Amino acid sequence: MDLNKELILSSHSPRRKALLEKLRIPFTVNAIEIDETIPDEVHYASGAEYLAVKKAKAHGILDNETIILAADTIVVYNDVIYGKPTSREDAINTLTSLSDKKHSVYTGVCIYSAEKQISFTEQSEVKFAPISDEEAGYYFDLDNPIDKAGSYGIQDWIGFVKVEYIVGSFTNILGLPLAQTQQALLSFLQDDK
């Protein structure tokens, strides 16, 4: 894919960077810190997209040769959003709350330039096997998921031994739905011609 523009990934996530590299397009990383609070009036299914748009727009006014790609991921179970854990105890509580249950993973993506923006949300489902407090603590000490929505990474130990099944995009659960992002970028660029 030839962008003919500068693509900037607005994310601190090493997983998003690694995923975007799989598309074999040149990009740089420049993430701007934002308040990641989702307002009460924003439905949880739209929360990740709300944050992705906010991250993209935080870059301000762009020149005509720049495209921002921003994304955010949240985990939802029983209408409760599980973001990044604040502590070991918080992570253990989250994981045991998700234990033996199916939850949703939403990733919002925003592609933004001086001329336009498009955004979308991808949803996947993950079903965990039972997770004990001891297993959750072991996982935290092993892989330190402090920067991961829902207190886990599906590519980590817990994903290999405790995920019974997923429905939907695997890369979405990692933090960037690649097939959908590539199609959105192609559509975004096609509109420029």
Greatest CA span in the chain, whole angstroms?
A: 56
DSSP assignment of 21-82, as one string? HTTT---EE-------PPPTTS-HHHHHHHHHHHHHHTT-S--TTEEEEEEEEEEEETTEEE
Residue corresponding to tokens 């900037």 = 8
- How far is residue 3's CA from residue 91's CA, in Å, rounded to a whole number? 39
User: What single-letter DSSP state applies at residue 39?
Assistant: P
Q: What is the CB-side half-sphere exposure of residue 78 using CA atoms within 13 A?
A: 5
Residue 148 CA to its chain's centroid (Å)? 9
Q: Is 192 in the active site?
A: no
CB atoms within 10 A of CB 182: 15
Q: Among the options 40, 72, 147, 192, which is catalytic?
A: 72
* Phi/psi at 82 (5° precision): -110, 105
Q: Is 84 helix (H, G, I), strand (E, B) or coil?
A: coil
- How far is residue 47's CA from residue 41's CA, in Å, rounded to a whole number? 10
Residue 147 CA to its chain's centroid (Å)? 11
Active centre residues (catalytic): 72
